[in-house]
Amino acid sequence: MTEPIPPTKLQAGDVGMWKDHQVMALGNGKVLVSGQEQPLESVSSGPDFLGWFDPTATGKTPAAV
């Protein structure tokens, strides 16, 4: 993760990346997880969490593992 975003600065469209999956920030403290809207607080960061990023900032999305 070259330019991680702190959770307090998330905007709609930002992506949270783990070693094996991704989630998308929807704004207003909500995230899209496995096709379902959930509160941001329900997303655990744990040791496999790589960080939040803006996929439009670099022009590329990191490759899925």
Residue 9 lies in a domain: yes
Listed in sequence order, the DSSP H helices in the chain are 55-58
Structure tokens at 33: 């997880």
Return the pLDDT at 17. 92
Task: Tell whether 57 is covered by a domain.
Answer: no
pLDDT tens track for 8-62: 899 999 999 999 999 999 999 999 999 999 999 888 778 888 999 999 885 555 5
Give the global pTM.
Answer: 0.77
Please classify residue 39 by burial: count the beta carbons closer than 10 Å to its beta carbon, then call 0-12 exposed, 13-18 middle and 19+ buried: exposed
Amino acid 8: pLDDT? 87
What DSSP designation does 5 have? B
pLDDT of residue 65: 43
d(CA 60, CA 43): 24
Domain with 33 in it: 1-40
In a domain, 54, yes or no: no
Compute CA 25 distance to the chain's CA centroid, rounded to the nearest angstrom. Answer: 6
